[in-house]
Structure 1
Amino acid sequence: MSIRLENVGIAVRYLERAVAFFTDLGLITTGRGTVQGEWADTAVGLDGNHVKIAVLQTPDGHGQVELFEYLHPAAIERGITAPNEIGMHRVAFSVDDLDAALMIAANHGCYPLRGIAGYQDLYRLAYVRGPSGIIVMLAQKLNTD
């Protein structure tokens, strides 16, 4: 049996804001539409499931994020998740320029949870609170030559 990660799905309050955030960071929109019907009800486990969706891909083609805005049933707001809360923790991206990525995030009102951290002498990284409260890790690999 083989396995590969297909995508990460994230429900958001405002689809267009989330798409703008992730595309400004460099992801590419590869699909948009709405999803509903009996097959969706069965797959997701919600009767009357109806969402707007955007599929975003990393430029290298290896990672995808599916963003959903629920039209029905109504989205359920939760409090802002903490990094140690059980459940989906974060989505992480490698970036060539952490400072530039943080400026893009700031343009969307998204800022580091605490600051920029150094991991050994390998990475500079920051966790930012993205659209709909999503925790997004941005990591820049340092030259170790």
Structure 2
Amino acid sequence: MAIQRMDNVGLVVDDMEAAKAFFTELGLELEGTAPIEGPWVDRIFGLPGVRSDIAMMRTPDGHSRLELTTFHSPPPFTPTPPNLPPSTLGTCRLMFAVDDIHDTVARLHPHGGELLGEISQFENAYLLCYLRGPGGVLIALAEALGQEAAEG
């Protein structure tokens, strides 16, 4: 039996409004928000007394979704040290294809987007970079060059 699809990627954030603003600026669209709590949630997470809020964001093509979650109870766990490097085992990063990487980085900067290194070119195929966003979220951006851009 095969999976049907990847439904969404979940991301725990400490500031829901900042995260929604960041991903909206990136180009995702807010699909909806909801409070999440109750015994069924406690059983799913294996945690007692879960109270959280979610915001579902979707890509413009409608094929991918990002679920932002803020926990009110239990309090969020913060790894030490914060902002672990991309080489940390278990680290999740989200990659987005963009039309103009330089413009995207500039637009995300006022929303907490900080380059980890620099925008770099991979062969004649892509411009690539890693950014850290609100709450330490790690994202990568890719701008296709040449033939790949025309086919995209």
TM over 0.5: yes
Q: TM-score, normalised by structure 2?
A: 0.91
The equivalences for 1:1-145 within 5 A come to 1-3=1-3, 4-78=5-79, 79-144=82-147
1:101-123 deviation per Cα after TM superposition (whole angstroms, max 9, x unaligned) = 10111121322101001112111
Q: TM-score, normalised by structure 1?
A: 0.95
**Aligned AA for 2:99?**
D
1:29-64 deviation per Cα after TM superposition (whole angstroms, max 9, x unaligned) = 001011011111111111111111100000001111
Contact 2:22 2:112 in 1 (8 A): no
| Count of equivalent residues | 145
Task: Mark the runs of 5 or more structure 1 residues left unpaired by the alignment.
Answer: none
Runs of 4+ residues deviating >3 angstroms = none
Distance in 1, matches of 2:112 and 2:23, equals 13
Aligned to 1:42, what secondary structure does the other structure show? Answer: helix
Aligned to 1:19, what secondary structure does the other structure show? Answer: helix
